[in-house]
Structure 1
């Protein structure tokens, strides 16, 4: 009897093309779901007869109660090597193996700069105006050269964003709770003495922190109020690091020049969500890691994980 593998959240229906599934086709039936399932009941029904589930990033939470509802589940393959929404203890208790894949930091770095540049030069507004036959030139762009880029986080992604900022001729500063002067000097950036200093003195602020107890809600109304009226905020990390209501208020009231956001408190974003219509907002539907090469890695290594599991030798086990 062939095992049943369900690929979740295959929005673009590319999982079958992104990798060669031939190595497991004789043992595994692969079913891909394009629609996001946003409730445990819906997931319980869709995955009830699944032996294997492939899930992208942290889009779907595998709680203990959900895992208990899936009697045939034996393997979860999650893209990336860190996933905070899987109950690993419950998985182990129910005999479910969890494996991960590699994930490149290049795509989120590139998207960060796409958002930042799009904001600085008003690309969406200018393009829409041109196509609609509107006024020739509507905006006056914000310069990058000589301006300050403030980075919250200087890890694998933040440091690469910093180097691109330096290449643009920007002054770059960074802050995080564990950032040392030695690390800042290594990347060639200024170590900000505090979050408040970074926010108050930066023309562009970009968030590159992991979500945890210390970073959840890090940027609330008081912190956003420190930003200059001409400043831009970019968040391609996690929505919960920035208070969403406070951000919406700052955008609506014109207290910051704009924001570029790729992450949201609810994903996919509901049709009536205020983020869809907020002024001064350049928003993308969590595209940070969505590129051909990254998908080839995710699904290619998912195939490897399934094959290894079937052969009794799981690879890249999590946590």
Structure 2
């Protein structure tokens, strides 16, 4: 059995799960760099029976799946993966297994980005190292309004921390009602009011047909010039051209972004030249605890499938 483990950028998989438990004669190959070209990806993966994906780092459309004749099992870390064509897997009778995860890392990173923005942490760190002592006023959070676009599990976690800082919490999503908002300590408002009145806007939606591009030029132009925008969910929720325009014109105070239309972010991307952004390389799920669950469960998925009883099936 040949097993490919993709996109282990940090080379931690084999230290977090005991892959020595694989059946005798198994061969595990770890790929620590992204393969972005479709033909190169197919060529690299053609020999493998089992492929383990790290979240949505590598897309797996039908055009890839149909050209991997040896593929018999696909494992994705996490409980869903929008980058896999499940219909194509079903057509070839390839089972797709998922894994468990830790539920808190993305909410924690959201607050890391919010605090980095309002407290000017990256800018002041750079200035201090360059010999300058204090370059600007920071902002307080108490009494400010936190607007959450999406109030599910992650949004609710972010709301609780906002309450601890003494912030007023407002929320909106297409299905949110006043009762559910109140249960999370938030007030439901309309989308326009949320963007127009919040001091920090943070996105916590699943990307889908109804939510793609849900934040565009109208929403960003409605924001206060002193407000910050944070996205740790999915890049496709936001019109990137509109966000770039708002940041360049300083129509908003700044943005904290962990997700991008193309990942890894190209070295020439215009975001990298802006001073009013804090950028992280999709770290929302990249914690030691989360990866330990990912790789432990991925190994269990492989062993269970090999024994004829696949686990955590998505397809």
Give TM class, smaller chain: over 0.9
Counterpart among 92, 116, 130 of residue 118 in structure 1: 116
Change (3 A) 1:228 1:73: same
Task: State the Cα deviation string for residues 155-214 of structure 1 (Å, max 9, x = none).
Answer: 01000000000011000000000001111111111111x111000010000000011111
Report the TM-score when normalising by structure 1.
0.97
Report the TM-score when normalising by structure 2.
0.98
Partners of 2:25 and 2:181 in 1: CA distance:
50
Change (3 A) 1:25 1:273: farther
Q: SS state of the match for residue 225, structure 1?
A: helix
Counterpart among 208, 211, 217 of residue 215 in structure 1: 211
Partners of 1:273 and 1:25 in 2: CA distance:
44
Partners of 1:53 and 1:278 in 2: CA distance:
38
Change (3 A) 1:27 1:308: farther
Deviating 4+ runs (over 4 angstroms)? none
Tell me the residue number matched to 2:202. 206
Q: SS state of the match for residue 76, structure 1?
A: strand
Residue 222 of structure 1 deviates from its aligned partner by: 1.3
Tell me the residue number matched to 1:109. 107
- Does the 8 Å CA contact 1:252/1:279 hold for their aligned counterparts? no
Partners of 1:17 and 1:239 in 2: CA distance:
31
Matching of residues 206-245 of structure 1 within 5 Å: 206-245=202-241
Matching of residues 226-305 of structure 1 within 5 Å: 226-305=222-301
Counterpart among 155, 159, 162 of residue 158 in structure 1: 155
How much is the aligned-residue C-alpha RMSD, in angstroms? 1.0
Residue 95 of structure 1 deviates from its aligned partner by: 2.6
Counterpart among 174, 190, 196 of residue 171 in structure 2: 174
Partners of 1:212 and 1:81 in 2: CA distance:
16
Unaligned regions of 5+ residues in structure 2, if any? none
Task: State the Cα deviation string for residues 227-277 of structure 1 (Å, max 9, x = none).
Answer: 000000000000011110111111111110000000000011111111222
Tell me the residue number matched to 1:64. 62
Tell me the residue number matched to 2:17. 19
Task: State the Cα deviation string for residues 71-128 of structure 1 (Å, max 9, x = none).
Answer: 1111111011111121112112223110000122210010000000000000001011
Residue 27 of structure 1 deviates from its aligned partner by: 4.5
Partners of 1:47 and 1:56 in 2: CA distance:
15
- Does the 8 Å CA contact 1:248/1:278 hold for their aligned counterparts? no
Counterpart among 62, 79, 87 of residue 85 in structure 2: 87
Residue 37 of structure 1 deviates from its aligned partner by: 0.6
Unaligned regions of 5+ residues in structure 1, if any? none
Partners of 2:16 and 2:264 in 1: CA distance:
22
Q: Please tell me whether residue 185 in structure 1 is matched to residue 190 in structure 2.
A: no
